[in-house]
Structure formats: structure tokens, C-alpha cells
Amino acid sequence: MKPSVSDHFAPSKCIYTARDAQEQAENLVNWQQCYDQISAGAFSGVIEELPFEDLQVFKETTSQSLRQQCKVRADAIWLGLPVRSSQHRLPRINGLEVGDNQLMSQPGAVDFELVTPDDFQIYGVVISTSTLRKAAETLGVTVPKISGAQAKVCLTHQQEVRLSQHIELLLALQDQKDIPSIPAAIQTERFIQTLLDVLAIPHYDKSAPRSYEQRKRVIEIVKAYIDANPDKAMTITELCETAHVSRRTLQYSFESQLGISPLQFIKMRRLNQVRRDLLNAETGAKISDIAIQRGFWHPGQFGRDYQKLFGELPSKTLARSVRRP
């Protein structure tokens, strides 16, 4: 059970660990999420969260590259700031790369997609729109409406440092058991002031190329076709005909948006679906039956592909099923 938030004192920091990507997704409260693992190997993840009233602050760590389908509650906005790293691979939001000094943003009740590299960390903030608007009015600050189309806000280096340091300070304060707790209202007010400093005069990144919307549309068509035909063997020609594009356009759309080929995407997506099915399987369920329902007709090859991606055999996953006694 998730802890409740006191009316007067700052909330205790919650730490959730996971060894499965979907388990990681479900550890974030008040989110609708589905995580697919892309890179090969055993998964580990950690979420450090502070559940203030009308404000959620967290730091998420994931060991493997992921494709994340996300949506926050309707009355809130989400802000995501990748932790600076020396690695060259950049995260993507809705297919757009996110570089240094860029803050991701999305309104509530809107589906969005993240593709994150392995060994990745991100600071996250979910705040009630009414709380943010009220604070802005009190301070005489105008905050433009955040829309799904404006996925990236450009920051100065100083703004990025200030925001990341403030989040780290909030998380660290809850570990200091030997000092008096700062009331939640004061911590929230100070942090919202930092957010308003970032959002008051936002500069949205509008660098998406003209072909971006077409590539995004191609991928959505193919995703829908794959999900509608879960056990069907598919060819590149078939996918091209479905999306009404050339082989070259199909390949480029997936590689530029998701970093993998169409066939790699199909295998990755279906293996992750099998994993979720295994973790939710009832007593008596057979691995071969579940695999066939997702288009894996050759048990030996399926077992090798599954173990390569997740670092364990399907039988080990099935043994952990949450629905088995």
C-alpha cells in the first residue's frame, strides 16, 4: 500500500525497486504506463518518489533501454529532465531526441511515448494544473498552456542545474533523520517557484523536420496492425502495403524514431507481451501456448530469443506469476 501524505509534514521518501520493466512502470502511482524492454539483459529499476499533495517528485533509474507508453492524470502536467550523462545515446519523446538543457513536457490525459537508453536516469515532476496556475497568479507570472505538440522546453544551463539540484535536495532532505522536518507546504511552495522560473518564459524546441509527422504516422499504423494480428508472421512487404510507404521509408521511420528496424520492433514488442502474459498467467498455463498466441511458433528459437532479451528463461518468469498460488 502506498503511504498517505500528512497535511503538515513533508512526506516520507518512497523507494521502489523492480526486476521487470512493467513492474517498474506500475510502481509510479497515478500513471497509466506500459514499458517494453529493448536492450538485452536482466532488468533492474529504482524509483525514489516524494508524493506531496498535488505534486509528485521522483527520480527514476533503469538499467535497460525501454520503450515507454505513458499518460498522467487529466488534471496535471508532467515535466521530465534527463540526468546528465556521458553516454552518446539520447532519449526520445514522441520520436524527437532530447539533448542537454532540454526539459520534456506533456499535459495530462495525453498519450506520449518515451524511448530511453540503457543505464538511464530521469527526474520527473507531476503537478496539478490548478496548483501551478494559482501559484503563478499569486506571483504575477504567466505560464503558457502546455500542449502535447510542444514536447520539449529549452532551458539555460543555469535553469537546468537549479531544477535538478532542487529535486536532489528534496530527495536528500527526507534522508536526514536528525534534522527537523520542513513543513510540506513550505517545501512545495519553494519548489513551485523553481518550476515557474523555468516555465514562465518557455522557449519550445520547434526543430522537428517536416517528415517527422509522416514518420510518426507510419509507425502508428504499423503498431496498430501488429496489435490487431498478434500471432501473424509478418513481412516487410506486408508492412509497407499496410502503411502505404516504400521499404526505405518504413525502415527509416522506425530507425529514426525508435532506433530499431521494423522487424526488430515486432520481435521486441511480442516478446514483451509474452513476458506480461507469463507474469499474469494462471496455474496450468503452458509457455508454448502463450508463445504461439504471440506469433512464436518455434519453441527452441523462442526460448533463445526470450532468454537473450530478458536474461532468464520463460519458465523462470512463469514461476513468478502474480496469479499463481
pLDDT score, position 12: 82
178 shares its domain with 243: no
Rounded (10°) CA dihedral 79, 85, 89, 93:
0
Q: List, as one string, the DSSP characters of 35-69.
A: EEE-SSS---EEEEEEEETTEEEEEEEESS-EEEE
Q: Which domain holds residue 69?
A: 14-204
4 domain-assigned? no
133 shares its domain with 158: yes
Going by C-beta distance under 8 Å and a sequence separation of 6 or more, which residues neighbour residue 44?
17, 18, 19, 62, 63
pLDDT score, position 260: 93
162 shares its domain with 30: yes
145 domain-assigned? yes
pLDDT score, position 2: 44
pLDDT score, position 209: 62
32 shares its domain with 156: yes
Looking up cell 536528525 gives: 178
Within 10 angstroms of residue 96's Cβ, the number of other Cβ atoms is: 21
CATH number of the domain that residue 170 is part of: 2.60.120.10
180 shares its domain with 31: yes
122 domain-assigned? yes
190 shares its domain with 226: no
197 shares its domain with 279: no
Please list the pLDDT of the chain residue by residue as tens digits (325 residues): 344 444 455 678 899 999 999 999 999 989 999 999 999 999 999 999 998 889 999 999 999 999 999 999 999 999 999 998 756 689 999 988 998 899 999 999 999 999 999 999 999 999 999 999 999 999 888 887 777 677 888 888 999 999 999 999 999 876 665 555 667 778 888 999 999 988 876 666 666 666 788 898 999 999 999 999 999 999 999 999 999 999 999 999 999 889 899 999 999 999 999 999 999 998 889 999 999 999 999 999 999 999 999 999 999 999 988 665 5
pLDDT score, position 324: 56
135 shares its domain with 157: yes
Quick check: 24 and 43 in contact, CB under 8 A?
Answer: yes
Question: Nearest-CA neighbor of 78 among 147, 125, 135?
Answer: 125
Quick check: 77 and 106 in contact, CB under 8 A?
Answer: yes
Cell of 238: 506486408
Pick from 180, 204, 228: which residue ends a domain? 204
CATH number of the domain that residue 261 is part of: 1.10.10.60
39 shares its domain with 176: yes
Q: Is 33 helix (H, G, I), strand (E, B) or coil?
A: strand
pLDDT score, position 134: 92
**What is the spatial distance between Cα 209 and Cα 53, in angstroms, rounded to a whole number?**
39
pLDDT score, position 147: 72
6 domain-assigned? no
84 domain-assigned? yes
266 shares its domain with 126: no
Question: Nearest-CA neighbor of 149 among 101, 198, 206?
Answer: 206
Look at the chain and report how many structural domains it folds into.
2
Model pTM score: 0.89
Task: Report helix angle 184-199 to 129-139, nearest 10.
Answer: 80
